[in-house]
Amino acid sequence: MALYLGIDGGGTGCRAAVADASGRILGLGQAGPANIASDPDSAAANILQALDIALKAAGGGTIHAAGLGLAGANAAGAPDRLRAALPFEHVAIVTDAITAIKGALGPDDGIVAALGTGSVFASQIGGTIRQIGGRGLVLGDEASGAWIGRALLAQTLRAVDGFTHFTPLLQGVLQEHGSPDAIVARSLTSRPADFATLAPRVAKSSDPAAAAIMAQATKDTAEAIALLQPFNSLPVTFLGGLGPAFAARLHHLAQRPAKGTALDGALLLARQAA
Amino acid sequence: MALYLGIDGGGTGCRAAVADASGRILGLGQAGPANIASDPDSAAANILQALDIALKAAGGGTIHAAGLGLAGANAAGAPDRLRAALPFEHVAIVTDAITAIKGALGPDDGIVAALGTGSVFASQIGGTIRQIGGRGLVLGDEASGAWIGRALLAQTLRAVDGFTHFTPLLQGVLQEHGSPDAIVARSLTSRPADFATLAPRVAKSSDPAAAAIMAQATKDTAEAIALLQPFNSLPVTFLGGLGPAFAARLHHLAQRPAKGTALDGALLLARQAA
């Protein structure tokens, strides 16, 4: 029996699913991080370990084709190095964003707005995916959790300087840090995930400063979605930890829940690769 | 004879001046970097070395009071640690931004807009300095060279995604990097000074994308200056590598050239500390 492998791998961990030709999942596995750009060797080892667990759970067999959605797959050369280390006949390697989109939409036309620590937007029309955004916090990732958290700290400093009024939320942020210099010091060592820890309280808050940040983020999200709409006709699927917050703010758009996970998207990719 | 020491120290080097009570400079010295937050031990050693050279050039003597403008002086605890290592009776330690402001204005009322790799704005009224901005690129430094260079890369990626039109400048930036992913990769390792290397071509260019970036930067600069103006009455002194570019764009403001350098400001601080 021909088996198919799907891998969903990111900076925190890697999941594997082994399925039959109909898409029925026979076994699941899990292992450590799989960012093939920042640490290709341990990514390959973790992918093979997750596969091993999933294949045992499935009762063994041979992988006919594999679909892998991996953080860092957009880095030049990274997918080729990994492909050489994998013993499968058919291998497709894409970013974890692509498998998330494929999983969310299946084969259907639609738009995905993924808003977690980072942000990325995509349309799928007739099987062709167009992706925008997802450039990282330094140059983009508008409306992402990291972007929202960084904006909260920046607005706090702008209130200290008198560019904007202090609100209870900004006053609270300043008090928690102790001083403006402590906020600056934090910014110098914070990774996107650190900034993103501040996002849920901004998304939930009715404070005027939070409302202003979320209004800008919602505008940026709407602009990205509009850019992907061919005729304002495709439903939007919101993904990620902040997905529900933006789905509620953009309730006037036609929306559709996700069909499946990134792991489902990876399995779909595997069947397409075969 | 009572001698006064001025120190201007930053991330690339440290300069010392020894002067008499009238402010006449008797000797100059120079040594390595003096960021007292990131490397306090070598900062102290470099300051003492620069002093040693300046004091020898002055023909020897005893320092009565010292004024030091140092990068990192706003980090909690850093000035106290350095003060303990310096053998002077009167010591004043401030950031290098403060000595730049003091040097530029002398004892006069005025406003300083310092636009180099970073950006900082200040007013001096009746000897009291109020400083805004200067929070670093992650959370602020609007209109700085680093901010402008980063904006150029971000706009190039927004043109790739279709959020904005490609212009000859943005097309050129993309071609120089080879791919959008290469621009993202650069952003992950670039320090503010790296981004700032792109700023002069933006400031000089008549390309529409450059004009839009400079228009936003000029708006931010004007807003910071307006916030510091008590009654629109104080002349503005522009400092830093991008100072002339913004002075030209804000030619309707009353302006005044700098009276002196940051080293002059440090000597003024030393006399005030005595």
Does residue A137 sit within a domain?
Answer: no
What is residue A11's predicted lDDT score, i.e. its pLDDT? 72
For residues A239 and A267, state if they share a domain: no
User: CA-nearest residue of chain B to A139?
Assistant: B154
Cβ within 8 Å, pair A150-B135: no
Facing B154 at nearest CB: one of A139, A161, A187: A139
Q: What is the pLDDT of residues A109-152, one digit of tens each?
A: 999 999 988 899 999 999 899 999 988 899 999 999 999 999 99
* Distance (Å) of CA A251 to CA A110, A195, A245, B86, B243: 16, 27, 10, 64, 47
Q: What is the pLDDT of residues A173-230, one digit of tens each?
A: 999 999 998 899 899 888 888 999 999 999 999 999 999 999 999 999 999 999 999 8
Contact A6, A270 (CB under 8 A): yes
Give the range among B19-28, B36-45, B265-274 with minimum mean pLDDT. Answer: B36-45
Does residue A132 sit within a domain?
Answer: no
What is residue B243's predicted lDDT score, i.e. its pLDDT? 95
Give the integer Cα–Cα distance in Å for B158 and B255.
36
For residues B184 and B244, state if they share a domain: yes
For residues A93 and A49, state if they share a domain: yes
Residue A76, chain B, CB below 8 Å: the answer is: yes
Q: Assign residue B169 the CATH number of its domain.
A: 3.30.420.40
For residues B244 and B268, state if they share a domain: no
Between the CA atoms of A82, A83, A89 and A94, what dihedral angle is there, to the nearest 10 degrees? 90
What is residue A87's predicted lDDT score, i.e. its pLDDT? 81
Average pLDDT value for chain B: 92
Between the CA atoms of A216, A220, A222 and A226, what dihedral angle is there, to the nearest 10 degrees? 150
Does residue A131 sit within a domain?
Answer: no
Q: What is the pLDDT of residues B106-162, one digit of tens each?
A: 989 999 999 988 899 999 999 899 999 988 899 999 999 999 999 999 999 999 999
Mean pLDDT of B150-176: 97
Give me the total of CB pairs closer than 8 Å, taking one residue from chain A and one from chain B: 78
For residues A160 and A98, state if they share a domain: no
Residue B161, chain A, CB below 8 Å: the answer is: yes
Mean pLDDT of B7-22: 89
Residue B200, chain A, CB below 8 Å: the answer is: no
Does residue B136 sit within a domain?
Answer: no
Mean pLDDT of B86-96: 87
Tokens for B141, please give them: 């430094």
Average pLDDT value for chain A: 92
Residue B133, chain A, CB below 8 Å: the answer is: yes
pLDDT band at residue B172, thresholds of 50, 70 and 90?
very high
Tokens for B236, please give them: 């503005």
Evaluate if residue B37 carries a pLDDT over 90. no
For residues A268 and A222, state if they share a domain: no
Highest-confidence range of A243-257, B30-44, B62-76, by mean pLDDT? A243-257
**CA pseudo-torsion sign B41, B47, B50, B54:** negative
For residues A36 and A96, state if they share a domain: yes
**CA pseudo-torsion sign A237, A123, B176, B164:** negative
Q: HSE-up of B20 (CA within 13 Å, CB side)?
A: 6
Evaluate if residue B79 carries a pLDDT over 90. no
pLDDT band at residue B170, thresholds of 50, 70 and 90?
very high
For residues B161 and B179, state if they share a domain: yes
What domain range includes position B183? Answer: 145-249
What is residue B33's predicted lDDT score, i.e. its pLDDT? 86
pLDDT band at residue A84, thresholds of 50, 70 and 90?
confident
Does residue B149 sit within a domain?
Answer: yes
Does residue A122 sit within a domain?
Answer: no
- Say which residues have a Cβ less than 8 Å from residue A268's Cβ, sequence separation at least 6: A6, A23, A67, A102, A103, A106, A107
Report chain A's C-alpha Rg in angstroms. Answer: 21
Cβ within 8 Å, pair B188-A136: yes
Q: Closest Cα of chain B to A158: distance in Å?
A: 8
Mean pLDDT of B183-206: 92
Mean pLDDT of B197-202: 95
Facing A184 at nearest CB: one of B135, B163, B179: B135
| More reliable by pLDDT, B250 or B36 | B250
- Residues of A whose CB is below 8 A from B227: 161-163
Does residue B113 sit within a domain?
Answer: no
Q: Closest Cα of chain B to A194: distance in Å?
A: 13
For residues A22 and A46, state if they share a domain: yes
C-alpha A10, offset from chain centre? 9
Contact A154, A160 (CB under 8 A): no
Residue A182, chain B, CB below 8 Å: the answer is: yes
Facing B181 at nearest CB: one of A74, A188, A190: A74
Facing A157 at nearest CB: one of B140, B154, B161: B140
For residues A176 and A234, state if they share a domain: yes
Give the integer Cα–Cα distance in Å for A93 and A85.
13
What is residue A96's predicted lDDT score, i.e. its pLDDT? 86
Q: What is the pLDDT of residues A44-78, one digit of tens each?
A: 899 999 999 999 999 988 999 999 998 888 777 77
- Long-range contact set of residues B121-129: C-beta below 8 Å, sequence gap at least 24: B121/B221, B121/B224, B121/B225, B121/B227, B121/B228, B122/B97, B122/B98, B122/B228, B123/B228, B123/B229, B123/B230, B123/B234, B125/B230, B125/B234, B129/B98, B129/B101, B129/B102
Mean pLDDT of B223-229: 96
Does residue B122 sit within a domain?
Answer: no
Phi, psi torsion values for B63, nearest 5 degrees: -80, 125
ipTM: 0.86
Evaluate if residue B273 carries a pLDDT over 90. no
The count of structural domains within chain B is 2
Evaluate if residue B74 carries a pLDDT over 80. no
For residues A165 and A69, state if they share a domain: no
Give the integer Cα–Cα distance in Å for B274 and B268.
10
For residues B165 and B69, state if they share a domain: no
DSSP-assigned beta bridge partners for residue A131: A122
Evaluate if residue A95 carries a pLDDT over 80. yes
Q: Closest Cα of chain B to A139: distance in Å?
A: 5
* Distance (Å) of CA B71 to CA B9, B37, B95: 6, 8, 6
DSSP-assigned beta bridge partners for residue A123: A111, A130
